[in-house]
Amino acid sequence: MELVVEQSCPSCGAPIVLHEADRLVSCPYCDVNHYMVGGGALRFLLRAGCPAGIGAEDLVYLPFIRFKGCIYQCQGNEVRHAIIDTTRIALRGDRLPISLGLRPQAMQLVQATAAIGGRFVPRQVKLEGIFSQAVRMTALFRPEKTGQVRHRAFIGETVSRVYLPVFEKDDMVVDAVTHREIMRKGSDWDEIAATAVPFRRHWEPKFLSTLCPRCGAPLHGEPDALVLQCRNCETMWEESDGRFSALEWGRVPGASDADLEVPFWKIAVRQDAGSPLLHTFADFLRLTGQPVVIRAEDESRPLSFWVPAFKLQPAAFLQTAHYLTVSQKRIADGEPGPLPAAYPVNLPRREAVEALKSVLAEAALTRKQLFPLLPSLDLQAASATLVYLPFRDAGHDLIERQTSVTIAAATLRFGRRL
C-alpha cells in the first residue's frame, strides 16, 4: 500500500496531496511544477489532534522507519523474492508499540516542516537492523528454506520516516492521534524524551525547477517519474546529487502509433572489474547454460543487461529482464525522438545495476555451476542507456515488437503502486 501525503507547494504554500513515490509536485493553484530531490529519507507525520491544554509545541514525535520494496535472494540453487511493506519503530526497548500497523496507509500523512513545532526523537536503531527484522518476517525465512545465501539485494525500495505524535498527561504518555495511553512516564520515557530535538530545517525536502537545463523549455513527466523529458530538445534528465543531469537515451519506433513505449536500462558491464567471466554475449550464454548454438558474432558482441526501468512484481521483473537479455541480438539500437505514449521511469538506474546479479542468476539454467560464483562476481556498470521499446497492446498482455517478450498489463498496473 502506498502512503498519501500532504505537502505544501514550494512556491505558494498551497496544500498538495501526493502519493509516497511522487517526485513531480504540480501545484493546481499557482501552476508551477517542482521536482522533489531524492536521497535522504523523507519525513512524514501522523496528524495529531491535540486536546485542550496541549499545544503543537508540547508534542513529542516518535520515529518509525517505513520500508517498502522487493528483496531478491539467491539461496541454495534458487532465486527467491518477497515484497516487504512495513513500518517499524526506530527506538530500542519494548515499552512502545513496535509498529504503526495499518495507520500510515489509512490516514493522510503530512510532510514534516519547520512550521510543525514540537520535538523529534532521533532514531536509535540502525537501518540495517530494521531491514533484517523486516526480512525475517517474510516467507524467505521459513525453516524449510535452507541453503547458503549467495546474494541478496533490495530493489525498488522506498525508505521514509513516519513520526507518531505523543504528549504527556498526568503520569502517562498519550498517543496524540488516538488519545490512547501508550506508556507510563518514568525513567524509560525520560530517557527518550531527553533526546528529542526541534525540527532541523535541512530535514525539509529540496526542490528543483522543472525547466530543461539545456533549452529552458518545461520538462514533462508523470508524478512518479524519475526521468523527465524535454520535448523541445529531445533530451532526458534524471536528478542526481541535487541537480538534473542528461541521460543517454534512445527509442525504437513502434510499428503503430498505438504502441506503448516502455523504458529499459540497457547496462553494459564493466570489463576491468573483477568479472573476467562476463565480457561478451557468448560468455553470458555459456555461463547461464542457454540451450543455443554460440556463434562467432556472439564472441565479439559486448554483453548488455536489459533491466526494466519501472517497478514490477519481483517474478515478472526478473523474467522480463531475463528474456530481454537473452534476446538482445534482436533489439535494434534506439535513437532519441518523439515519444507519443511512454510508460514512466520509476526505477532508478542505480537500482537496475543492483539487480544484475539476480537477473543473471534467474537466467541460469546451470545453477550448480553459476551460484557458487555469485558472491565473488563483481558486476559493475560501464554505461547505462535508457531505451524505450515498443510494446503492442494485445488485450491482457503487452508484447514487445522485436522479441515477443510479454508483460501482463495487470502486472504493469500493479507495479506502478509497488
Enumerate binding residues for Zn ion (CB under 5 A).
9, 11-12, 14, 27, 29-30, 212, 214-215, 217, 230, 232-233
- 93 vs 216, beta carbon nearer Zn ion: 216
Q: Which is nearer to Zn ion, 98 or 215 (CB)?
A: 215
Nearest approach, Cβ of 9 to Zn ion (angstroms)? 3
Alpha helix stretches (DSSP H) within 114-155: 127-136
Q: Residue 335 Cβ, how far from Zn ion at the closest point, in Å? A: 17
Of 399, 415, 305, 411, nearest to 359 by C-alpha is 305
Smallest gap from Cβ 230 to Zn ion, in A, equals: 3
Closest approach of Zn ion to the CB of residue 210, in Å = 11
Distance CA 264, CA 327 (A): 14
Q: What is the DSSP letter of 241?
A: T
Q: For residue 28, which of 281, 186, 223 has the smallest C-alpha distance?
A: 223
**Least distance to Zn ion from the beta carbon of 246, Å?**
9
104, 109, 114, 115: CA torsion to nearest 10: -140
3-state secondary structure of 279: coil
Task: Specify the amino acid at residue 75.
Answer: Q
Q: Which of 350, 360, 304, 358 is nearest to 329 (CA)?
A: 304
CA distance 19 to 329: 38
Which set of grid coordinates corresponds to residue 258? 498505438
Q: CB of 236: closest distance to Zn ion in angstroms?
A: 10
| CB closer to Zn ion out of 33 and 346 | 33
Specify the length of the chain in residues.
Answer: 418
When the beta carbons of 232 and 328 are compared against Zn ion, the nearer one is: 232
Helix axes 409-416, 314-326, angle to 10 degrees: 120
**Residue 337 C-beta: closest distance to Zn ion, Å:** 14
Task: Kindly tell me which of 217 and 255 has the beta carbon lying closer to Zn ion.
Answer: 217
Q: How many CB atoms lie within 10 A of CB 179?
A: 13
The whole-angstrom separation of Cα 280 and Cα 301 is 6
Number of continuous H segments (helices) and E segments (strands) in the chain: 10, 23
| Between 12 and 114, CB nearer to Zn ion | 12
Element spanning 319, H or E: helix 314-326
Mapping DSSP onto H, E and C, the string for 27-52 reads CCCCCCEEEECCCCCEEEECCCCCCC
CA distances from 33 to 27, 29, 84, 203, 321 (A): 6, 11, 31, 21, 33
Strand partners, 75: 78, 149
**Between residues 29 and 372, which has the closer beta carbon with respect to Zn ion?**
29
Minimum separation from the CB atom of position 65 to Zn ion (A)? 30
- Give 9 or 62: the residue with its C-beta nearer to Zn ion: 9
Nearest to 121 by CA among 144, 148, 93, 149: 93
Nearer to Zn ion, 129 or 336 (CB): 336
Q: Give me the least distance between CB of 207 and Zn ion, in Å please.
A: 11
Instruction: Output the smallest distance, CB 401 to Zn ion, in A.
Output: 28
Which is nearer to Zn ion, 70 or 219 (by Cβ)?
A: 219
